[in-house]
Structure formats: C-alpha cells, structure tokens
Amino acid sequence: MLTITSDQEPLQYPLLNKNSLKANHLSQYVRMTEYPVKVLQIGEGNFLRGFFDWMMGQLHMRGLYEGSIAVTQPRPTGAAKLQELQRQDGLYHAIIRGIQQGERIEEAELIAGFSMFIDPYQEWDTFLGLSASPELDIIVSNTTEAGLAYQFSSWNPDKPIRSYPGKLTLFLYHRYVAFSAHPDSGLMIMPCELVERNGDRLQEIVLQHAEDWNLPEPFKRWVMEHNLFLNSLVDRIVTGFPQAEAESLNKQLGVQDKLLTAAEPYYLWAIEGDPALDGRLPLKQAGLNVHWVADLRPFQLRKVRILNGAHTLLAAIGLLHGFREVREVVQHAELGARVRQAVMEEIVPVLPLDTDELKRYAEEVIERFLNPFIQHQLTDIAMNSLSKFKVRLIPTLISYRERFGVLPPILTEALASLIRLYNVHEEDGRYIGRRLDGMDLVVRDDAAHLRRLQQLWEQVEQGERKLSELVDQVLGDRELWDSDLNEMDGLGDAIMAHLLTMERR
C-alpha cells in the first residue's frame, strides 16, 4: 500500500505493467499469476475495479485466497478497456480518498488480481472453455441494470451471445455437460447490479433462456439446486478515472496508470446467504465490511431510499441551479440545507427501520457526499433520472403523504425540478435541457420518455397547452410512474407552484 504524499521528485513514467513493478510488488504479482483462476468476472467497469477487485486485493494481501480472476467484458464496446487492462497486465491503482469519522484517508493501492483477459466476442471458445475448469468457483458481475435483463436470443451456441444472462446460461450448460451434472460443480454467482433481488432475477432469466433453448430438465434442476445465485447489495461511490488529477497521481506513483480508479473509503457489501459461505470467499474473515445476512431487504431499503434517493433528488435540483458536483450542492448553504432536510425529515421518518440506526447511516451519507477528494458528477447520477425517481423517491413521497397527511416539501420540489429539467429539445440525437439561468445541459434518459416530455413542453411554450395540463399529463403518465400520481391530493398544485416560482426566477 502506498500513501500519497505531496510533492515528490518528478520521475519517469513508464506504463504500469509487470515490467515497471518494484521488487516487492513484482513478487506479489507473480504469486497471484500462479494461482488458478477461481473467479470469472463479467464486467471491466469502474465499479468492480473499485469494489470487488479491491476486496480481492485485500484477501490476497492477507494471504486468504489462492485464486486469481479471469475478466471479460459484457458487451463489444468494453473491448478497449479490456485491452487497456491487458496492456497493464491487469495492474492498476485504487485511489481511496475521503474523510471517515473525521479522519483523512488518502491511499493508492496497487491491485493485482487478473490473470486472464477474455474478449468473448473474439474468443468465444476460450470463454466457454473456462466453464470446464475444476478450480472455477465464483462468477461476479456488474453490467448495470440494463445488462441484467432478459433479451431473447435464438439458439446459436457457436456464436457469442450478446446478453450477459444469455452468455451465462450457455456457460453453465457447458459446465453441466463437462462435469456430467456433478452436484459439486455448481458455482457461486454474485451479481452486483443494483437490481432488487439481483440473484433471483439472474437465475430467473437463466432459466428462461434454458426454456427458450429447450435445454434438458436435469440441467435446469442442476442450475437451481447446485448453483447459488446470491442476492446482494453493494455500496461504495466509485467515480473511476480521476481525470483532473491523473497527471499528479502518476507523477507521485512514478508510473503511467491509465486505469487509476478513484473511490471513497466507505464500502459495504450485504449478501443474502449462509455465513458459512465466507469459507468459500473469506471476505468477513479478512475483516471487510461485508455482511452475510438472512434478509437483505433492510439494507436495500436503507441504501436505495437514503443514499440513492438523496443523489437523485440533489442531482435534479443541483443541475437546474447550475451545479456540477454532488459536494458543491451539499456544501451550498441553501441547497445543502434542503438536501439535509429531505434526508432527515422526509426520507428517514417514513422508513420502517430503526430510526437511530437510519440517522447514523444518513449522517454518514452526508459525510460521504462532502468527500473533498471525489468529483462525483451530477450528470452521471442524473442519467435515467425518471426511472430512478420512481424507485428511489416516489415510495417516500407516498409514505410521507399517508403518514403525515401533507406532502413532503423538498421531495415535491425535487419532482418539480425533474419535470422542469426535462423541458428538452432534440439536437443531433441528444436531448438538451435548460438550467434556471437559461444555459443548456444534456439530459440522458429513455428516448421515448424524453420525446413525450419534449412534446408537452413545446405545446406549453407555443400556447397550445396550459402548464397545469402538462403537470396533469406528466403526473398521470403510468409509463413513467407505474401509477397515477394525480391521485395524490394536492400534488399537481404543489408542482405547479414550484414550476411558476422557477419561471419567475
């Protein structure tokens, strides 16, 4: 582990790879490459590198795991990142920085866990071949919510299958055949996608593909009985490559690392499963903040409603006011106070969990948002805000109204801000919204939703529709919210009032 210090002498910057490693790191790297591949990782993205692979680094450092990782990208566009990883022999630095319980943490940890790089679109046979390895034990993935989805694919086993669950189904089928359905050949499958009950969902899709492809019933039974699809919840803010500071970090590290991965010190992984599974992947034994739990729901609810809810809320309000990063919004006297009010007075009180524990978590979340070293872009968080708002904030809005008989003021303002943010027009295939000061900003969301909102706003601006009608239409759009929000007394009027105030500004 290196500690980032201030000014060191400028060094030459060879590319980070095994040839540029110092002796102590080289021996660590060589030891790792001698381990058999025990983990197949589907996903070359930032999150896994700053979370799971970092954890594997901790296991390796403590001598608790004698297995390496084969990494593969879930879609063709990931090939460039995979090649970059390969050029660096799978080595990179996790830059872990922030303030935790008042203590400043600033570390650059060299991560060395990958021993194999497989592009399934070019090396399909190698990919499938790995399924026959007796040492392989775990599959981990993060392919975003869009990746963990059913996508029909016709039976064509000789060609790379596009979707992740499709690939996984064929991979498991090859394994089932290679080990003649032996019960011990089952794998532990750990999806990290932020999808509720991600393990159950993945298993469901795998079985659907098995059905589509007429795979034998005993295979389906083997999938269900001898493979573990674990539901889990991940929590760590990983912002990826720290563009603004890359040069100075490389200078301090003395190498050129194109895969620097920035993350906060906080992390939590709650996995629904028997604590005995820690024997298979000794995360708890390594002292990591990992919990094998019987019921994941409280963790999921707490994190999605508080952390992700606050993110979605502050992204909508912050972007409209011309801010770029999470920290800027939370630090702002007026907007920051509103974010705190939303979390402490609107979100926390309606969660059916221990209030003291929730408040502790909420305080921690605010501290994490204030991390001075992390540049967390509001535009990244705001991507697909409509569906995020539906899952992360609407349930709170409804519970609050039911419990207190009035609307939560900040959440209502956030919903109005979101509607205002989506006053978009199309330009070269992109949707451009307007901040309150009239400046443009790109809005990224489902194109059909964006088109509908664009049309409504255009009709208002051309005087063909009243603003109140737009509000009525948007709140009543079941495709957006899965329900009619106009049924919530007073919501339409409150949103109207906010929109008019914004326009007056």
Site residues (vs ligand NAD, CB under 6 A): 43-47, 73-75, 78, 142-147, 164, 193-194, 234, 236-238, 240
Question: Least distance in Å: CB of 268 to ligand 44H?
Answer: 8
DSSP-derived secondary structure for 309-356: HHHHHHHHHHHHTT--BHHHHHHSHHHHHHHHHIIIIIIGGGSSS-HH
Nearer to ligand 44H, 20 or 239 (CB): 239
Q: How far is the CB of 348 from ligand 44H (least distance, A)?
A: 17
> Toward ligand NAD, which CB reaches closer, 269 or 323?
269
d(CA 412, CA 317): 11
Distance CA 430, CA 39 (A): 39
- Kindly write out the interface string for residues 184-223 of this chain, putting x where it contacts ligand 44H by CB under 6 A and - elsewhere: ----------x-----------------------------
CB of 283 to ligand 44H, least distance (A): 17
Would you say 237 or 470 has its CB closer to ligand 44H?
237
Q: Render the burial of 286-296: b for 16+ CB within 10 Å, e for the rest.
A: bebebbbbeeb
Mapping DSSP to helix (H, G, I), strand (E, B) and coil, where does residue 49 land? helix
Tell which residue, 392, 415, 418, has the closest CA to residue 145. Answer: 392
The residue number with the shortest CB distance to ligand 44H is: 311
Q: Minimum distance from CB of 288 to ligand 44H (Å)?
A: 15
Q: Does 235 bind ligand 44H (CB under 6 A)?
A: yes
Q: Which range in 7-15, 271-279, 303-311, 332-340 contacts ligand 44H by CB under 6 A?
A: 303-311
Q: C-beta of 404: minimal distance to ligand 44H in Å?
A: 26
Alpha-helical runs (H) found in 148-279: 164-178, 198-212, 217-226, 246-253
Residue 142 binds what, of ligand 44H, ligand NAD, none (CB under 5 to 8 Å, by partner type)? ligand NAD
Q: Is 237 in the site for ligand 44H (CB under 6 A)?
A: yes
Using rule CB under 6 A, residue 175 touches ligand 44H: no
Q: Which stretch binds ligand 44H (CB under 6 A): 159-167, 195-203, 205-213, 232-240?
A: 232-240
- Residue 381 interacting partner from ligand NAD, ligand 44H, none (CB closer than 5 to 8 Å by kind): ligand 44H
Conformation bin of residue 160: beta by default, left when phi > 0, alpha when psi is -120 to 50: beta
Among residues 74 and 433, whose Cβ is nearest to ligand NAD? 74
Nearer to ligand 44H, 234 or 350 (CB): 234
- Six token digits for residue 381: 């968080």
Round to whole Å and give the CA distance between 202 and 209.
Answer: 11
- Token duo for residue 398: 């409804």
CA–CA separation, 204 vs 491, rounded Å?
A: 37
327 near ligand 44H, judged by CB under 6 A = no
Q: Which stretch binds ligand 44H (CB under 6 A): 207-215, 233-241, 253-261, 436-444?
A: 233-241
Cα–Cα distances in Å, from 275 out to 62, 190, 283, 292? 20, 15, 10, 5
Phi, psi dihedrals of residue 289, rounded to the nearest 5°: -80, 65
Interactions with ligand 44H, residue window 306-325 (CB under 6 A): 307-308, 311
In the chain, what is the straight-line distance between the N-terminal and C-terminal CA atoms, in Å?
51
Where on the chain is the footprint of ligand 44H (CB under 6 A)?
Answer: 194, 235-237, 307-308, 311, 381, 383
